[in-house]
Amino acid sequence: MGNVATTVEEQIEILRRRGLELDYSVTKIKEILLDIGYYRLGFYWNPFEKNSTHDFESGSKFSDAVSLYYLDVDLRNLLLKCLNRIEINFKTCLIYYVSNKYKESPTWFINSKVISNNFIIDIDKFYSEDFKKKNKAIKTHHLKYINDKYAPAWKTLEFFTFGTILKLYLSLKNEDLKKEIAFKFGIKSLKVFENHLRTIIFIRNICAHGGVVFDLKTPKGISNIPVLNFYKNDNHSLDAAIKLITFYLGKISIDRETELKNKITELINPYKDNIVLSKIIETKIGYLF
C-alpha cells in the first residue's frame, strides 16, 4: 500500500495483479482484510514476495499468509504467558534474596550501601507521584504510613517494569548476591545472565505490544550454553529465543517447561507437510521439524 487509502475491493485486485492465489471466497477475503488489515497481513505475505515490486512467487496462496499470521499470534500469546512467569519469578527472587540479606533496610532499593548511585539518582523517575496514585497497594501504603517516603521493596518492586527490575539487579553492589540469584537459574556467569535477561525483556516487549515474532532477530546474539543447542548456531532466531525461554521456565517449573515444549510442537507440526510454510518456519523461525 502507498500513501493513499484503498478499499478492500482495490486491495484484492492489487493482490491478484501481483500474483497471489486468492484461494478463499471473495466474501471470506473481505472479512479477513477488514478483520486483520491489509497492512498487518503484509508482514505475513512478505516472505512469499520475489522482488521489490512485491510480486509473488508462483504458487503463493492467500491462505498460507493467513495461516502464518495465526501461527504468529498463537506463538506470541504462548510465549507472553511464559515470559510473564519468568518476569514474576525473577522479581520474586530479587525481592526475597536481597530483602533477607538486608533485613534492617526494607527500602534497600534506595540504600547507597546496597545499590549503586546510578540507580538511586533516578528513583523519582520510577517512584513518582503518578506511580503512587496508579498502584493501589502503594497508594494504600502511603495513606496508612504518611511519613514513609517509599514503601518496602516487597511492595514497591511488584509494580516496577521488568527493565527497571533488571537495572536494579545490575546496580546491586554485592557481587556474591548477584551471583547467588543468577545461579538460582543455573547460570554462573553474570555477563551471560545479563545477556539472557536482556533478550527475555526484548522478546517480552515485542510480544506484549503485538509485534511480529516469526521472523524475529534479537539485536544481540543470545549467549549460548551447552543445553540450548541452537539450530545452525543461529543465536538471533526465534527458535533460539524459544529455547532460552524454555530453559529459564524449566528452572521455575519442570511441568511448565514440558508444557511449553509440547505446545510449541502442537502449534508448528501441523505445517510440516506444507512445503511453503515449512520452509518459512525453518528459515525464518529456525525451527527444525
Provide DSSP, 15-66: HHHTT-B--S-HHHHHHHHHHT-HHHHHHHHGGGB-STT-PBPTT-BHHHHH
Same structural domain, 52 and 165: no
Over 90: is that where the pLDDT of 134 sits? Answer: yes
Same structural domain, 76 and 51: no
Same structural domain, 93 and 207: yes
Over 70: is that where the pLDDT of 91 sits? Answer: yes
Same structural domain, 1 and 99: no
Over 60: is that where the pLDDT of 109 sits? Answer: yes
Same structural domain, 45 and 179: no
Same structural domain, 20 and 78: no
Same structural domain, 44 and 175: no
Same structural domain, 209 and 164: yes
Cα–Cα dist 35/43, whole Å: 15
- Cell triple for residue 215? 521472523
Angle CA(264)–CA(233)–CA(219) in degrees, nearest 5? 80
Q: How confident is the model at residue 1 (pLDDT cuts 50, 70, 90)?
A: low
The answer to whether residue 82 is domain-embedded is yes
Same structural domain, 56 and 192: no
pLDDT on residue 66: 98
Cα–Cα dist 138/151, whole Å: 7
Over 70: is that where the pLDDT of 172 sits? Answer: yes
Q: How confident is the model at residue 224 (pLDDT cuts 50, 70, 90)?
A: confident
The answer to whether residue 145 is domain-embedded is no
Selected residue with higher pLDDT from 232 and 109: 109
The answer to whether residue 194 is domain-embedded is yes
Over 90: is that where the pLDDT of 233 sits? Answer: no
Over 70: is that where the pLDDT of 103 sits? Answer: yes
Count of structural domains, the chain? 2
Same structural domain, 55 and 163: no
Q: How confident is the model at residue 2 (pLDDT cuts 50, 70, 90)?
A: low
**Candidate from 45-59, 66-80, 226-240, 260-274 with smallest mean pLDDT:** 226-240
Task: State which residues form the domain around 189.
Answer: 72-104+155-270
Same structural domain, 76 and 206: yes
> What is this structure's pTM?
0.93
Over 60: is that where the pLDDT of 155 sits? Answer: yes
Same structural domain, 225 and 82: yes
